[in-house]
Chains A and B, each alone.
Chain A
Amino acid sequence: MEFLLQPLTLLTFLPLVGVLVLLFVNAEQKTAIRWIAMVTSLVTFVASLWVLSMFETSNPDLQLEAKYAWIHVAGWNIYYYLAVDGLSILLVMLTAFLTPISILSTWKAVEDRVKDFMIFFLLLEVGMMGVFLAQDLFLFYIFWEFTLVPMYFLIGIWGGPRRVYAAVKFFLYTMAGSILMLLAIIYLGIQAQNTFNVPDLLVRLPDLYATGRIPADVQMLLFIAFTAAFAIKVPMWPLHSWLPDAHVEAPTAGSVILAGVLLKMGTYGFLRFNIQLFPDATVQAAPWIALLATIGIIYGAMVSYAQSDVKKLVAYSSVSHLGFVMLGLFALNAEGVAGAILQMVNHGLSTGALFLLIGMIYEQTHTREIKVYGGLWKITPIFGTIMLIASLSSMGLPGLNGFVGEFTILLGAFGSKAIGSPWYAGLSALGVIMAAVYILYMFQKVFLGPAGEITHHHELKDLNWREILTVLPLVVFMFWIGLYPKPFFDILAPAVEKLLSALPL
């Protein structure tokens, strides 16, 4: 039972301690509830730093394993198996980092049923950690599906006017993909003598592929089944239609986590499972995924530009940004994949910041229509400045984080053997320009020019200390990654190299 005390188990389940405490707190004691949730998530963040301190950067393998033969009866070989490597450590850190920030952002925004909110939020953190750490497909599936439940409640209870519709759509859409993955997981498990853990599968699969026990076309079907689950989560065009609804209706903290972490579960799934488990299919499918990614980049940017609601604009921009991540991943070379992983983090930071900031102004004005704003910078200079930084980071201005990620991805995509044509990268580069268009357009309409109708009629206050404290950590990282990304690349490079060396390229 020592697995219960291992660092990754503690990291994953620490938020549960907070949940247990919260269960016994009177629902009226809102401040106490907020502090309990805050402290829990901060302790979890400290735990993640502890994990990071034990992480060996030069080691490409899974580390800090917590492994326990969980269901080993009746022909089952299911492990409780958590481990971390260069592919996942940054995302684990991102999760632990964004959760306290999100909780801090709800301090004034959530007044109704605070206790339930915090419980669901901490449960969500457990699920997300589990997704990034689980190395057994069964365990992964449990965490993967479980994240839906708290998010469903967060959108459905604390969301905007169409929250129920958005919550149910989010739930069903995501589940639709997951069931195909479940089918594939069970099939894989049966073929590999009831093994579900990824390292063992990686040992057995080459043999199964070579001997034809899993023929090439079946491998492609398995790849597609996993892709269905992950592509919906990312979301890749044309499976993105749940995203704007979920984002717009979700409460601010929900949007931050949704954009910052939940979407990354999809791209991470491709990285950890699709590419590793189905190498031949991956190489075969790479041009097609690149095509979809490119369409997503252009489409997302165009639709963003057409939005009149700021939150929707940022939501659609995620489709575009995640397209870059997918393009980088399926470039299947060191630059592309490393850039993609870094871009996952970048998108979490910049889009997370944008959602936070939009939430802050929305709390005051209760509208997100672009046309009613204008001239905001004069009235709220701090807000305007931070918004500018986040916007520039999102559109990929050199010196900020977005540039590093997108540039590396495009570099990878241009020279990618797997994609086979530089055209995708070329078209995607257009997406960077289009991002500048819609973001600057939004910024200009909201912050510059003559005062709009809201700016006239409202006594708008600038950010207070709590709000600045909420976004400041994100801004710090935007500059850090933008100016000195080396430590981030160093941490993921060995694992990426190992991942790619197994591919038949």
Chain B
Amino acid sequence: MAPPVNYTDLYTILPYIILTVWACLLLLVDAFLIPKSSKGITAFLAALGLAISLGYSVTQVGIQSTGFAGMVTLDGFSTFANILLLASGLFGVALAYGYTKRMGIERGEYYTLMLFSVTGMMLMAQASDLIIVFLALELLSIPLYVLSALARKLDSEESGVKYFLLGAFASGFVVYGTALIFGATGSTHLISIFAQAASGMTSNLLLTIGAALLLVGFGFKVAAVPFHMWTPDVYQGAPTSVTAFMAAGAKIAGFVALFRVFATAFPAIAPDMTAILWAISALTMIIGNIVAISQTNIKRMLAYSAIAHAGYILMAFVPYGNEAVMPIAIAAGLFYLVAYAVSNFGSWGVVIALEKAEGKGLELDDYAGLAKKYPALAIAMTIFMLSLIGFPPTLGMVGKFYLFRSAIAGGFSGLALIGLITSLISAYYYLRVVVNMYMKEGDPEIEREPWLGFTTAVTAIVTVVVSFVPQFLFLLASTAVLR
């Protein structure tokens, strides 16, 4: 007999419940009450739901509990991730508001699907049982598949189907990995897995294979090499506002699940996993950055940049088996996810501002002359590019410093060196955008949309200002340790 649901259970996943209920209601309200011509209202309602959930999430800072017989956990880590994910959702809505209208894909479902996806992401952060991890993974992914195909154009549909097929494949790996882990330890619960593995009664081989299969699934979500093949096509084909949301949200969710599962359940097999993580991280940084150089389409370039950034975050996580370094690794990862998400939304916002119908305005050459005509937008884009390189005075620089510190403290100076060298390579293609904007002649046209402008301005300001006062973020990230 399972114990009845009590108040603690519900409180543990309160922001999640709020958002889920809100999304269900919004689906109905949108279908029956909101006229087709004013779907903007749905966007505002979706944002309201995210904001309310965010508000409750903020009140949970510092609170720890578990619910549903240990299936979900509330701790500093999950609260940090929830806040970041909900904020990402808000940015996602802000970017979509004008864009979907302009591109003629404004539909109410867009926002409800986004809300459902966010709930899945939040559940990823809170899951402390592999079954819930799988559930959350599907909950976050399926709406994203639909969103990718939402434009109903050929490349958008291709993007959706590709994402779906490969995503389903990756989910299969997660299930299979879960099964093997269950076979090895007799449990899907992260803490029990840890306890079993530590007792030495388990088959470490089976456990290692299971963990490796999970890593495939997570690697797919965060777009790590060699599980990245879908990324450029999907990022390019999907409506840009979806891409922006996906690039931040799915990556954050994938990483927080990876952090929690590996740090909680698999320290015992860390020596084996470390080698695998090392290789994946190095490959991701190298391939992501090198292939990005040859891109001429900004969406594809940013897609490869997103791949590369997965590598940097993984780099910090490589020494997770080292007890002294693990908290730093996780804090650095979280910190960098914030830096990445902020610069990510900003840069995609600029892409949206320049994008025209029929996929025009997406070539790097279309950025020529931007600085002369729209100086503010060019400054913002420069800030994002510097942040993605890891150059001061931006949040990206502080974040990268943290990541490298984790890798070096864990004794992986060689990997850190690869990370630094690939950062240098990345400077080349990020700077190309800046070169085009400032040093070439051209006559670009941009779309002025209030929420888009707002997002770009806020993210640019945050990127610079928080790099000078990063204390609170450091504090939050470093107290966001796992229970």
A183:B435 contact, CB within 8 angstroms: no
Determine whether the beta carbon of B471 is less than 8 Å from that of A146.
no
26 contacts between A and B (CB under 8 A): A71-B470, A72-B471, A73-B471, A73-B474, A74-B331, A74-B475, A142-B397, A145-B392, A145-B397, A149-B391, A156-B438, A157-B439, A163-B439, A164-B435, A164-B439, A167-B435, A168-B431, A171-B431, A172-B428, A172-B431, A179-B421, A179-B424, A183-B408, A186-B416, A189-B405, A190-B408
Q: Does B413 contact A (CB under 8 A)?
A: yes
Least CB separation from B331: chain A residue: A74
Smallest CB separation, B247 vs chain A (Å): 25
A187 touches B408 (CB 8 A): yes
User: Which residues of chain A come closer than 8 Å to B421, judged between CB atoms?
Assistant: 179
For window 313-349 of chain B, which residues contact chain A by CB distance below 8 Å?
328, 331
- Give bound CA distance, A141 to B428, whole Å: 20
Pick the residue among B393, B420, B471 that contacts A142 (CB under 8 A).
B393
Within 8 Å of chain A (Cβ to Cβ): is B350? no
Report the minimal beta-carbon distance from A379 to chain B, rounded to whole angstroms: 36
- Asked if A204 CB lies within 8 Å of chain B CBs, one says no
**With an 8 A cutoff between CB atoms, is B477 at the interface?**
yes
Which residue of B372, B391, B408, B431 contacts A113 across the interface (Cβ within 8 Å)?
A: B372
- Sample of 8 further A-B pairs with CB below 8 A, known A146-B391, A148-B391: A73-B471, A74-B477, A76-B474, A146-B393, A168-B435, A171-B431, A176-B424, A189-B405
Contact of A182 among B420, B431, B439, B479 (CB under 8 A): B420
Interface residues of B (CB under 8 A from A): 328, 331, 371-372, 375, 386, 391-393, 397, 401, 404-405, 408-409, 413, 416-417, 420-421, 423-424, 427-428, 431, 435, 438-440, 470-471, 474-475, 477-479
B438 touches A190 (CB 8 A): no
- The answer on a CB contact under 8 Å between A153 and B405 is no
| Residues of the B chain whose Cβ atoms lie less than 8 Å from the Cβ of A142 | 392-393, 397
User: How many angstroms between the C-alpha atoms of A187 and B386 in the bound complex?
Assistant: 24
A157 touches B438 (CB 8 A): yes
Q: Is the interface of B mostly helix, strand, loop or mixed?
A: helix
Encode A67-92 as 1/0 by CB contact (under 8 A) with B.
00011111110000000000000000
Cα distance A179–B400 in the bound complex, in angstroms: 11
Given the interface contacts A76-B474, A157-B438, A180-B420, does A186 sit within 8 Å of B427 by beta carbon? no
Tell which of B424, B471, B475 touches A175, judged by Cβ atoms closer than 8 Å. B424
B328 near A75 (CB under 8 angstroms)?
yes
Say yes or no: A168-B372 contact (C-beta < 8 A), given A71-B471, A73-B475, A75-B478: no
Q: Does A138 reach chain B (CB closer than 8 Å)?
A: yes
Q: Specify the chain B residue showing the minimal Cβ separation from A113.
A: B372
Q: In whole angstroms, how far apart are the Cα atoms of A190 and B412 in the complex?
A: 13
Cβ B413 vs Cβ A167 within 8 A: no
Q: Are B420 and A179 interface neighbours, CB within 8 A? A: yes
Give complex CA distance A186, B390 in Å.
15
Nearest residue, chain B, Cβ from A80: B468
Q: A156 contacts B439, CB within 8 Å?
A: yes
Residues of B within 8 A of A168 (CB): 428, 431, 435
Q: Is the CB of B427 within 8 A of A74?
A: no
Q: Tell me how far the C-beta of B174 lies from the nearest C-beta in chain A, rounded to whole angstroms.
A: 32
A138 to B474, CA, bound (A): 15
- Give A73 to B470 CA distance when docked, in angstroms: 10
* Cα of A156 to Cα of B423 in the assembled complex, Å: 21
Identify which of B391, B416, B417, B421 gathers the most chain A CB atoms within 10 Å of its CB: B391
Write the nearest CB–CB distance from A184 to chain B, whole angstroms: 10
- Contact, CB under 8 Å: B397 / A153: no
Contact indicator A71/B428 (Cβ below 8 Å): no
Complex CA distance for A146 and B475, rounded to whole angstroms:
25
> Which parts of A173-204 form the interface with B (CB within 8 Å)?
175-176, 179-180, 182-183, 186-187, 189-190
Q: Choose among A73, A113, A164 the residue with the greatest number of B CB atoms under 10 Å from its CB.
A: A73
In the complex, what residue of chain A is closest to B389 when comparing beta carbons? A175
Q: How far is the CB of A151 from chain B (nearest CB, A)?
A: 13
Q: List CB contacts (< 8 Å) of A235-292 with chain B.
A: none
Which residues of chain A are within 8 angstroms of B413 by Cβ–Cβ distance?
A: 183, 187
Contacts of B479 on A, CB cut-off 8 Å?
A: 74
Known: A164-B439, A182-B404. A71 touches B397 (CB 8 A): no
A186 near B423 with CB under 8 A, answer no
Q: Kindly state the separation between the CA atoms of A152 and B432 in the bound complex, as whole angstroms.
A: 12
**A176 closest partner in B (C-beta):** B424
- Expressed in whole angstroms, the Cα–Cα distance for A180 and B404 within the complex equals 12
A183 touches B404 (CB 8 A): yes
| A172:B424 contact, CB within 8 angstroms | yes
Q: How near does chain B come to A203, taking the closest CB pair, in angstroms?
A: 21
**Pairwise interchain contact B439-A167, C-beta atoms closer than 8 A:** yes
**Distance, CA A326 to CA B435, complexed state (A):** 34
